[in-house]
Amino acid sequence: MKLTQHEQSMVRGDMGSEIQRAIEQQIQVGEFWGADRFVEVTNVHMMGDIEVMGDSGLEHLSCMAQRKARCVIRTTTNARCFDFAHVEALGQDQAEAEKEKQLIAHLQAMDVMTTDTCINYQTLYQPHFGEHVAWGDTGTVIYANSVFGARTNFESGPAAMAAALTGRTPAYGFHLDQHRRGTFVVRVEADLRDLADWGALGKVVGQTHQDYFAVPVFDGLERTASADELKHLGAALASYGSMGMFHAVGTTPEAPSLTAALGGNKPTEEVRITNADIENVYRSYDLKDGQCNLVVFSAPQLSLFEMKQLADLMRGRKVKTGTHVFVTTANTVRSDAARLGYLRDIEQAGATVLSGVCFYILQNLSEIRVRNGWTNLISNSAKIVNTITAHKFNTILRRTVACVDIAVTGMLK
């Protein structure tokens, strides 16, 4: 890689051992991918919680903080595994919760803003067209690349941390024009009314094209999609397909036309998705004993618009006794939802609203599942019905209205 004088001084250790170690890691990653230089980034979004980092990660952060490592650009954090107001009620480990608090303190000592949200693109920072950033959480990455036309790769915890210390990242993948062009075409002939339909579309396309460098171009959308719809589509593509970018003709900034989205690429394939394909997704789940005592609205965290929709659907109704309903959102959204009365409507119906977390990464989730006798998990998020299966849930995707009906009646259909 060709390094600037500033970067060379980082490598020599002129700026301290932490920056030296960070840039050395970045150079190795860059060289693996054939990067010939770095790009400066303006914003970092990182994943760092005790469940994923473990004791060794905590120890690592503690050492970094003691050695006075500091972020040189604005750095925010993704959803974590504890909402401290609910540790006891959920049956999470107090000792682990204490470690999470230490971890947060270390991050703050390094100037990381512990915002704890996976919808930073809706609540915190909207990079402009062509802006280079270093974001973690696959859903944030695919949204930044596709919807904003900003540029980032999947930057996992240690990689995002390194970018925060050096202010740059290797120029490979979606930082480069050649990887941003569409590689295959998806003709959308389905209606896509509910958020779950958009997630189902992402599942069908992602599952059959598991490749980070595959960039689907959705063509034929009959109307302009909302931010929440694109968020569920992107989250599902990233989760099932490990994808980091898509285009939607007439909707996303690098796709004014199909030709522009492909940028000279000859599409490897043309896929057609109809209403029948979406219905097949809903039909594909095993309902087991037909019992349903867990409904989850999470992954990604709900926007204020999604909170209002849930409040409208739940107002004046009651979750069936013995059934648990969880909603996760960002701290900022919770605050607005409280002020606007949505929180009250959702909580009065019997649902639990967790903030700053995502349901599938909750600490101790496998034991919580067993203790509560949860087998079936119903959600309108195509992402969570995929990611949470490691905790041995049997998951079922349903549309938003159906999810609320199931919560109220306890009847799984």
Q: Does 268 bind other proteins (CB under 8 A)?
A: no
Q: Bridge partners of 325?
A: 295
Q: Cβ of residue 84: shortest distance to other proteins, in angstroms? A: 21
Q: Does 166 bind other proteins (CB under 8 A)?
A: no
Q: Cβ of residue 350: shortest distance to other proteins, in angstroms? A: 30
Where does 124-215 have alpha helices with state H? Answer: 138-143, 157-166, 177-180, 195-207
Of these, 8, 14, 17, 32, which contacts other proteins (CB under 8 A)? 32
β-strand pairing of 168-170 with 38-40: antiparallel
Considering only residues 187 to 226 of the shown chain, the ones binding other proteins according to CB under 8 A are 210-213
Cα distances from 313 to residues 166, 184, 307, 308, 400, in angstroms, run 47, 38, 10, 9, 9
β-strand pairing of 216-219 with 184-189: parallel
Q: Cβ of residue 158: shortest distance to other proteins, in angstroms? A: 4
Q: Which stretch binds other proteins (CB under 8 A): 87-95, 157-165, 183-191, 331-339?
A: 157-165
d(CA 316, CA 260): 49
# residues contacting other proteins (CB under 8 A): 45
Q: Does 4 bind other proteins (CB under 8 A)?
A: no
Q: Cβ of residue 172: shortest distance to other proteins, in angstroms? A: 8
Q: In what order do the strands lie in the sheet with 294-302?
A: 352-355, 324-329, 294-302, 376-379, 394-397
Residue 338 token pair = 């409280």
Q: Does 138 bind other proteins (CB under 8 A)?
A: yes
The type of residue at 140 is T
Q: How many CA atoms lie within 13 A of 404 on its CB side?
A: 16
DSSP strand E in 56-201: where? 74-77, 134-135, 168-170, 184-189
Of these, 242, 332, 348, 372, which contacts other proteins (CB under 8 A)? 242
Give the contacts of 114 (CB within 8 A, at least 6 positions apart).
76, 77, 104, 107, 108
Identify the helix (H) or strand (E) that includes residue 170: strand 168-170
Of these, 34, 91, 130, 341, which contacts other proteins (CB under 8 A)? 34
Of these, 25, 251, 332, 348, which contacts other proteins (CB under 8 A)? 25
Q: Cβ of residue 211: shortest distance to other proteins, in angstroms? A: 5
Q: Does 137 bind other proteins (CB under 8 A)?
A: yes
Query: Which 3 state secondary structure label does DSSP give 105?
Result: helix
Q: Which stretch binds other proteins (CB under 8 A): 54-62, 197-205, 294-302, 310-318?
A: 54-62
Considering only residues 315 to 374 of the shown chain, the ones binding other proteins according to CB under 8 A are 361
Q: Cβ of residue 34: shortest distance to other proteins, in angstroms? A: 8
Q: Which stretch binds other proteins (CB under 8 A): 44-52, 122-130, 260-268, 297-305?
A: 44-52
Name the residues that contact other proteins, by CB under 8 A.
25, 28-29, 31-34, 47-48, 52-57, 60, 78, 136-138, 153-160, 172-173, 210-213, 238-240, 242, 244, 361, 386-387, 389-390, 392
